[in-house]
Each structure stands twice: as structure tokens, then as C-alpha cells.
Amino acid sequence: MSLIQSLILGIIQGFTEFLPISSSAHLVLVPFLFNWAIPENQVFPFDVLVQLGTLAAVILYFWKDLWKIIKAFVTGLIRRQPFAEEDARMGWYLLLATLPAGFAGIFLKERVEAAFNNPRLTAFFLFVTAVFLVGAEFFGRRSRQLDKMTWKDALWVGVFQAFSIFPGVSRSGSTIAGGMTRNFKRPAAARFAFLMSIPIMLAAGIFSLPDLFAVPDLPAFLPIVLVGFIAAGVVGYLSIRWLLSFLVKRSLIIFAVYCILLGSAVLIISGIRQTSPNVAGTAPGAPAAESAEYPPQTPISIQETLPLEISPALDWLRPRISGCADAIPGLALVTEGTVPANGEPMQLSWGEPPNLKRKAVIIGEDDLVFTVNPRNPLRELPLALLQPLLSGELNSWGEVQVACPECFSAGQLDELVDQPVEVLLYPSNVDARRVMDEALSSAPVRTNASSVLVPSAEMMKQEVSSALNAFGTLPSRAVDETVKVIPIQNGAETLKITRPLLATSAAEAQPLTLQFLTCLQAAITP
């Protein structure tokens, strides 16, 4: 998922959470309609957690009401008169109304998660929302205010909210409809619906935390969720204000019509796509792979085994590889152990290998960066000093400072000045070493006797983060807060070493393999 996708989905969440047209349906259907290749293991955690943005909006909008309810609720418990005040009773009603949806969410979690990946089922649930809205308008007498609410009313509305755990059944729509069928006026039913959304959204966010922590490459995913969270909060606040004023004089029928039209459009588009030929059978050149359809439409009965060799420089890509493999039913990925006799492995590598004779797909690109320990005062390095540093001509950090005093933060080299430069290099058979050799000279970088060979990006990061005097290279996507990137200055410009990430194979890729590659493309460069 990209930041732009998160922003768009956050705006949609905020706009549709409180309108009776199902925010969850839109979070499912918008990626479906635009063919966004969002990894399956990100969909449910994002959809639930971005609702916390609208939770913040409803708390901010109703904070005065909430404060009175909480104050009266606690005071009633202390005085052992829990139902004496109207605001205290409202607190109990909100808790009671939360129970049906809470139990439904706990016992139906797996089915609900499956529905979040089923646009056709979501479309049918939109029709259920439309039925609720039309029924509320025709059967509700709209004569009561919230001060006349009883525990039976709260429980009844809570049962309607239980239906809304499925994408397509609007929480606000079902609960407003539930209130109206108990003869509450539209604004009163909407106010109670918004207040009762607070505990259920808070509980859903808490219960989704394990799913969030299971997302591959979580540090990169959290900023994306934050963008959606903020957008949902701002737009959600404005949506509450608009809907409460709208319902004073207008009915819910227009929203029912919208749900019917959207659900019908999704069913029609889904039917067209199922009868259209799958473009995933295109030969695996880079442009062709980008046109492969994802999520997969291939029947689950089809099985493919994909033996895969992953360069040590691409360790950071393994979580995305696992996520894409899990998202494609029927694809058996073999990354360790014995490769089938009839299956020469596909290779994931960084940069184009010499004498490339295999079919290749570009699944992304990455930069090579030079790193030191975060406590090292080195700030930048001229390109002219890089080769002497790597080859051991500059033996200590004091010699590097003499050659380039302006490259260091002032007065912070005392601990390091007499220490040797511990040069960390990849072995010559690792992609990252080849990328460095190609970028710096026509001849390989000379390795001195004190250089340390580090076989993988993860080990390189550990070595640099644990030694103050270390200097090593990393793929930029493997960088985190445990290391510091050092810009290499080539005159007035900063050296940028960018190479493609290739999937190479001796044979034509099969349909599921193409879908896997397309998923990787989207995961690397959304």
C-alpha cells in the first residue's frame, strides 16, 4: 500500500463512516474498482486501524456529551445509584448496545476477515443496508427523543449494530435504522448511533493489534496507516456535522438508493472481469509483468510450484515475498531445501548480472548506500576518498579526518581518532559487492587484509550498528535507525547508485508466478 492509496482510503473512510453507506464497503470496493494490488495481510489491519481516525473525530465532536456521561456514570457508581441520572443511564445504554456487536466480532472474526477480501459479498451486504434504511423510513414513527430511551431500545439498536461487522452493512445506517424502528427521530437516532460507535471502534482497534504486528515490514507500514488515520479523522469530523444537520429535515432514502446503485455496479463489473480473459499469461518481460491481474482470479484448483533463490543482498525483501506467496492460493513457494528436479529456480538478484541469458522481469529498484555507526561523527565523504578508504590506504579515522576535516562534526572524534577503519565488504559473489564495483570503477575495489567480508545485508547492519569504527554498504531498503547513511559527494552532487531488482528465469513464467511477481512489484514500488 502506498501513501497516496492510504490518503485516498482515509478520506473515503472519514466521509463514509458516519454516512449510512458503509465505510467498510468502500474500503473493500475502491481497491477492487481501481485494481489496486494491496497485499492481503495489510487489508484488514488497515481497515480497522484507520477507523481509529474516525473514532478520534467522534470523540472530539461529542466530547461535552461524553464528559457528562462519564462523570454521571462514575458518580452513580460511587453513590451506589447507577441509574439515578439520565446521563448515567445513557452510559449503561451505550455499554449494553455494544455487547451484541462485541460478541459477534469475537466469534465471527475469521468470516468477517474473509468478507473483507470478497467484493461480491460486500456488494450484497450493501443491499442489506438499503433494506434497513428503507424499512426505517416506512415503519418508524419518528416521535421520540433520547431522554425517553429504555434498556430495551439500547439492546435493540445494539443488535442492528452487530450486523455492521460485515463490510457492506453500514454501522451508522444499521444503528440509525434500529433507532428509527423504535420510533426515535432521525437526529436522535443518529446521535445515539454515533455515541455507541465509540466503544465498538475502540475495541475493534485493540483486537486488531495482533494483525498489525503480523504485517511484514511493519516499520514501513505504520507511516502509511498514520496518513490514513489523519485523513479519516479530519473528514470524519466534517461528515458528522453535515449529517446531523441533513437529517433534521431529510430522509434516508437517498442513501438507500446510493447503496443499491453501488452494489449493482460492483456486481456488474465483477461479472465482466470474470468473463474477460486473464492477462496474466503474458510472457514475462518487464512491461508484460506489470499488466498481470492481481488479486488473483485463477481458480484455486490450479497449483504451481515456484523454486526461488534469493540473493543475500535482498534479505529485506523476504517479508514481502512471504506476504505475496500467502496471498496467492495455489502457489507453492520453495525458498529453502531441495529444488524439484524439473524446476530450475527463479533468481531474485540486485543489478543485472554479467552475460544475462535468462528471461528477466524488473520488479523494482534500490540504491546502494554507505553506512557507519550512528555515534560516528562522519557526516559526508568525497568520492575521491571513498576508494582509498575501502582499499585500506586510509588506515585510521584520524587519517580520514586529516584528509577531510569538514566531513566530521566538530569536536566529536576523540573516541574514534586512533581507531582503525573497519571496512566491511560483501564477498565478490554477492550482488551488493558487484553493484559497488560497477559504480566506483571499471576494476573491482581492492580489498586489504583487514577488511571483513560480510555475507548478507542483515549481518552487515548488525556489524555496523555494533562497532563504532565500522564502515560498510547496505541496500537502502535495509537501512533502519541502527545505522547512519553517509552521503558520498561527487563534486556538487551526491552520488546515487541505483540498480534494478530482477527476477530471472530460464523458462516462461506460469500464471500464478506472474501474479506473484506483480504482487512483488506493487509491494516494492506501489
Helix (H, G, I), strand (E, B) or coil at 333: strand
pLDDT over 70 at 44, yes or no: no
Q: Give the separation between CA 170 and CA 131, rounded to whole angstroms.
A: 11
pLDDT over 70 at 499, yes or no: yes
pLDDT given for residue 281 in this prediction: 34
State the average pLDDT over residues 13-41: 77
Dihedral (Cα; 207, 213, 219, 221), 10-degree rounding:
-60
Q: Give the separation between CA 251 and CA 303, rounded to whole angstroms.
A: 51
State the average pLDDT over residues 61-77: 90
User: Where do runs of H (alpha helix) occur along 330-486?
Assistant: 383-391, 397-403, 431-440, 457-466
Q: What are the CA-CA distances from residue 300 to residues 29, 275, 303, 304, 512 (Å)?
A: 22, 17, 7, 10, 10
Counting residues of the chain whose pLDDT is more than 90, the rounded percentage is 13
Q: Is the entire prediction scored with pTM above 0.75?
A: no
- Provide the residue type at 179 as one letter: G
pLDDT given for residue 292 in this prediction: 38
Domain ranges of the chain: 3-272, 284-526
Return the CATH architecture of domain 284-526. 3-Layer(aba) Sandwich (3.40)
- Provide the residue type at 311 as one letter: S
Q: Give the separation between CA 401 and CA 505, rounded to whole angstroms.
A: 47
Q: What is the pLDDT of residues 379-392, one digit of tens each?
A: 899 988 888 888 77
Cβ contacts of 418 within 8 Å, gap of 6 or more: 396, 397, 398
pLDDT over 90 at 118, yes or no: no
Q: What is the pLDDT of residues 426-461, one digit of tens each?
A: 887 788 888 888 777 655 565 554 578 888 888 898
**Closest CA relative to residue 260, chosen from 18, 9, 25:** 25
Cell 458518580, residue located:
75
pLDDT given for residue 117 in this prediction: 57
Strand partners, 504: 347, 360
Q: What is the pLDDT of residues 129-185, one digit of tens each?
A: 999 999 988 888 888 888 888 999 999 999 998 888 777 888 888 899 999 999 898
Q: Read off the C-alpha cell for 326.
A: 500467502
Q: What is the pLDDT of residues 324-373, one digit of tens each?
A: 888 888 888 887 654 454 557 888 888 876 666 667 788 888 899 999 99
Q: What is the pLDDT of residues 269-317, one digit of tens each?
A: 777 755 544 333 333 333 333 333 444 444 444 577 888 888 888 888 8
Confidence of residue 74 (pLDDT cuts 50, 70, 90): very high
- 42 against 465, higher pLDDT: 465
pLDDT given for residue 457 in this prediction: 87
